[in-house]
Structure 1
Amino acid sequence: MRTWKRKGRGTGLRIVSSLDSHESELIGSLVGSLQELLAEREATAPRDQLSELTGIPSGHSAPPDDVTLGRLLPDFHRPEQDEEILADAVNSDLNGALRSMYEPGIIAAKNSAARAVIDTLPAGGGEVSLTEAQAEQWLAAINDVRLALGAMLGVTESTPEHLPPDDPNAAHLDVYHWLTVVQELLVVALAGGR
């Protein structure tokens, strides 16, 4: 991937870059995997009568068991955020209610960003030309992929920059770092006009 550049002005402004075929395929595969994770979570959400009557979707009240989905769909409130809420039951009820109300919308937004990437990704590589809105969607989707990959790898501040070549996660960590660069360059391009 080359750096992201701004071309044009006003309504004709585009954020552009170029992807090699393997880069395009990798991004498509990672974003597709993200969509599958989110679709599985969405499909297993309980249905209730109020949701059926109003058409307002409701989601899970319990957090995901999977560490990757847990990173993508974290609790809304953690006890360390508010010393006044000390009881675990209150915290659990609060998180459950918030999750049930807002998780469907969060999943929909993540899916929308993922679809924007898939829709604008050049098959076989080539130029990527995005509106600012599409670039923001790309930014959100790349961030979600990085979060998921980082959770799967257990990335922390103490994770080394590179793993030994014989480590089974070495290539995955390299992809994680590459996505970090893609994201940073896209942020710089988006911020260039502000």
Structure 2
Amino acid sequence: MSGFKRVRRSGLAVATFTAFEADLLRSLAGQLIELLRNEEATQPTGDPLEQLLDFSGPTTEPEDPVLARLFPTAYLEDEEAASDFRRFTEATLRDGKASAAAAVIDALEEAGLGTEPEDGVFIDVELDDAAAMTWMRSFTDMRLAIATRLGIEDGDEEHWHDLPEEDPRSQVHAIYEWLGFLQETLVRSAA
């Protein structure tokens, strides 16, 4: 686990993953896409102008806690403004997050990740600045999803490090930390 490094000659951020690590990233990105696409994100309205302009996004906070965290309510004090803001922006935000996760999958597969990852195979990923930003955003979304599902909060690191290794939450928390490590090294390599 080496993380990302900047290659001076090419200017690219580069990381080498084992096939298992690359497949895990692909799986996490795929799960994020599925979550973003499964909950109904649009509600048709009767307004012909809105239908023409496609302002048909949802007007209420998502029921799934992860989606509620990824798409928080913008105006806590003004329910109508919050509803309008969500209707005009959430569908586009969902598409952007899903596209970023799909870009992670595409980059991994273009770098050689097959459908059946093999032991001893390494995947070299090279990202230009635009791709690095996309990956950073996707890492943020993946980490928020895991943190929400596990109930991770600021200052509770000791709790997570004290969990026995056989506790499945400990393993998922290790993935959360690994994503944080990857994101940190990618940020440093882009600086």
Indicate the TM-score class for this superposition, using the shorter chain for normalisation: 0.7 to 0.9
Contact 2:7 2:14 (8 Å CA) reproduced: yes
Query: Matches of 1:34 and 1:51 in 2, distance apart?
Result: 32
- TM-score normalized by structure 2? 0.85
SS across alignment from 1:78: coil
- TM-score normalized by structure 1? 0.84
Alpha-carbon displacement from aligned partner over 1:96-125 (angstroms, at most 9, x marks no partner): 110000001111111121121111014144
Q: Which of 134, 139, 142 is the aligned partner of 1:145?
A: 142
Contact 1:58 1:103 (8 Å CA) reproduced: no
Query: Matches of 1:70 and 1:169 in 2, distance apart?
Result: 21
Q: Does 1:75 align with 2:62?
A: no
Query: Matches of 1:30 and 1:135 in 2, distance apart?
Result: 17
The residue aligned with 1:156 is 153
Q: Which of 9, 21, 38 is the aligned partner of 2:36?
A: 38
The number of residues matched between the two structures is: 177
The residue aligned with 2:24 is 26
Q: What amino acid is aligned across from residue 177 of structure 2 in structure 1? A: H
Q: CA deviation at 1:136?
A: 0.5
Q: What amino acid is aligned across from residue 88 of structure 2 in structure 1? A: M
Q: CA deviation at 1:76?
A: 1.1
Q: What amino acid is aligned across from residue 184 of structure 1 in structure 2? A: E
| Unaligned stretches of 5+ residues in structure 2 | none
Query: Matches of 2:149 and 2:76 in 1, distance apart?
Result: 22
Q: Alignment RMSD, CA only?
A: 1.8
Note the 1:104-143 alignment, pairs <5 A: 104-121=91-108, 122=111, 123=113, 124=117, 125-143=122-140
Contact 1:150 1:176 (8 Å CA) reproduced: yes
Query: Matches of 1:37 and 1:104 in 2, distance apart?
Result: 13
Query: Matches of 1:31 and 1:126 in 2, distance apart?
Result: 16
Query: Matches of 1:138 and 1:145 in 2, distance apart?
Result: 10
Query: Matches of 1:13 and 1:152 in 2, distance apart?
Result: 36
Query: Matches of 2:54 and 2:149 in 1, distance apart?
Result: 32
Q: CA deviation at 1:61?
A: 0.3
Query: Matches of 2:172 and 2:3 in 1, distance apart?
Result: 22
SS across alignment from 2:57: coil
SS across alignment from 1:17: strand
